[in-house]
Structure 1
């Protein structure tokens, strides 16, 4: 039998944890509640690839890998996978991370000549004692695991790089080339995916070719656990898109999950994380895009961005291609 002292000690501990326990005791999704959510317009196609796994009773981890693989190969986009734009030296390098809700995770950074960095990241998670492999070491590991080396830089991306060399003007633009139509090949930025399966297990994936014309060796937030992606079965998951340096500075995805742990809804958590970016770097926030997307363990979804134009896609048993506009701090890109 618990004594009064033990009861008071337990109550004090819960108070020190911010009173978050009631929120965390909410029931997870049931067998009909599986869903997947992704960043940007091309998240519609990625979600459909992931949904095939979830609808068949597959795991959230398998689902996000399938969706990310679609983005890396079937999609042709200047910021993801095989059609990505190269760095300032003309080298196309890819970054990716994957994370399960039980804390297992893996990532690769500055990976070249391998079509599916997301699958290499999963092998890092499952076949090594490490979390991240980079550069030549990541490529060597991929080849050892049976992945084929192949030239990924497309003629279109190479031409764009040569055109850029005429000015060498490096100035990332907010929502560059976003036309607002699902499947538009010129859509913008990293793809981040979050999923929950019929058993209530969560997983996330993030994959990108990074900023066009970046310095050789630059790594953004996408492969960094806690910056571009974070997943916790007890709470929820978050992913980010935009200028990766800002996500790294703020441990952004981890921050969003921890805000949900304190009792915030996904939408509230994303908004508070964005407001922190604004408070820390008010001038920079007017010229950079930062976007957060989150889902809690009950399947509730929220998003928030610095600037207008961020959209995200939702797929579940009721809707297969829903595309929603995110609220933002600034309602115009001309600020």
Structure 2
């Protein structure tokens, strides 16, 4: 997802396969269509029709090995809930079904044990990159790119392409970027909240902390973080469930400076 804070134009793609450069595809949506979000196979077709390389096999040796181990572990952990599987990896049936077989019931404890021990979202189970930029003219833009959560249910769309959740920009105020448990965070549009809080006079630190606190009050076990930057370039981060780091670089700096945010 990319957003121009001057024009408020947005381009995004979701559930796109066979095209490596999702952020480039999102920019093409913004620049060359009147739409905001394209999804699935047709998003891939659009990206390729606009000149991006593809279709491409995006699997790596590492990802194939990780997937194979997950299959060997009976497709656990996964993101399903209130269901029981047949033959380890499905099909799945609701737990309140009146026709559950003994084979399904035998898997109940196994699923509950694994899913209770292994978090779905953590330091090594997602790969979001989100960036906010202010140019020499004061124009603000944001972009977010991600492969999504590891072992997600096919078809899942997280917060990455959702405007106001993974990122948001407004030249009049500033910008916000987010990462973490997108399935929870997208319910609160934290980056939109951050920018609107700064519009009302909050400093970046207070705006970031407020947005995270709103989520934590309802989902105390969630993992996530936001970074807020106002139009003057003042910035701060807030997080919950982990120690978060983000980096900043200005024209006057020779290299990036890394900031650590404690939960």
TM-score tier by shorter-chain length is 0.7 to 0.9
Matching of residue 311 in structure 1 with residue 245 in structure 2:
yes
Q: Please say if residues 221 and 248 of structure 1, whose CA atoms lie closer than 8 Å, have aligned partners that are also in contact.
A: yes
By how many angstroms is 1:319 displaced? 4.8
Q: Please say if residues 175 and 310 of structure 1, whose CA atoms lie closer than 8 Å, have aligned partners that are also in contact.
A: no
Which whole-Å CA distance do the structure 2 matches of 1:226 and 1:161 have between them? 31
> Per the alignment, do residues 153 and 203 of structure 1 end up closer, same or farther by CA in structure 2, a change over 3 Å counting?
same
> Per the alignment, do residues 326 and 174 of structure 1 end up closer, same or farther by CA in structure 2, a change over 3 Å counting?
farther
Aligned counterparts, 1:217-228, within 5 A: 217-228=155-166
Equivalent of 1:161, from 56, 63, 67? Answer: 67
Matching of residue 98 in structure 1 with residue 5 in structure 2:
no
With structure 2 as the length reference, what TM-score do the two structures score?
0.80
Q: Please say if residues 126 and 148 of structure 2, whose CA atoms lie closer than 8 Å, have aligned partners that are also in contact.
A: no
> Per the alignment, do residues 174 and 116 of structure 1 end up closer, same or farther by CA in structure 2, a change over 3 Å counting?
closer
By how many angstroms is 1:172 displaced? 3.4
Number of matched pairs: 219
Matching of residue 115 in structure 1 with residue 12 in structure 2:
no
**Backbone CA RMSD of aligned residues:** 1.5
With structure 1 as the length reference, what TM-score do the two structures score?
0.63
Residue 323 of structure 1 corresponds to: 258
User: Does the residue aligned with 2:15 lie in a helix, a strand or coil?
Assistant: strand
By how many angstroms is 1:326 displaced? 1.1
Equivalent of 1:302, from 236, 239, 247? Answer: 236
Gaps of 5+ in 1: 1-96, 178-186, 329-335
Q: Please say if residues 304 and 326 of structure 1, whose CA atoms lie closer than 8 Å, have aligned partners that are also in contact.
A: yes
Which whole-Å CA distance do the structure 2 matches of 1:308 and 1:154 have between them? 28
> Per the alignment, do residues 115 and 174 of structure 1 end up closer, same or farther by CA in structure 2, a change over 3 Å counting?
closer
By how many angstroms is 1:157 displaced? 0.6
By how many angstroms is 1:320 displaced? 1.3
Matching of residue 232 in structure 1 with residue 174 in structure 2:
no
Per-residue deviation, residues 133-172 of structure 1 (Å, max 9, x unmatched) = 0001101101110112111110111111110112222243
> Per the alignment, do residues 324 and 229 of structure 1 end up closer, same or farther by CA in structure 2, a change over 3 Å counting?
same
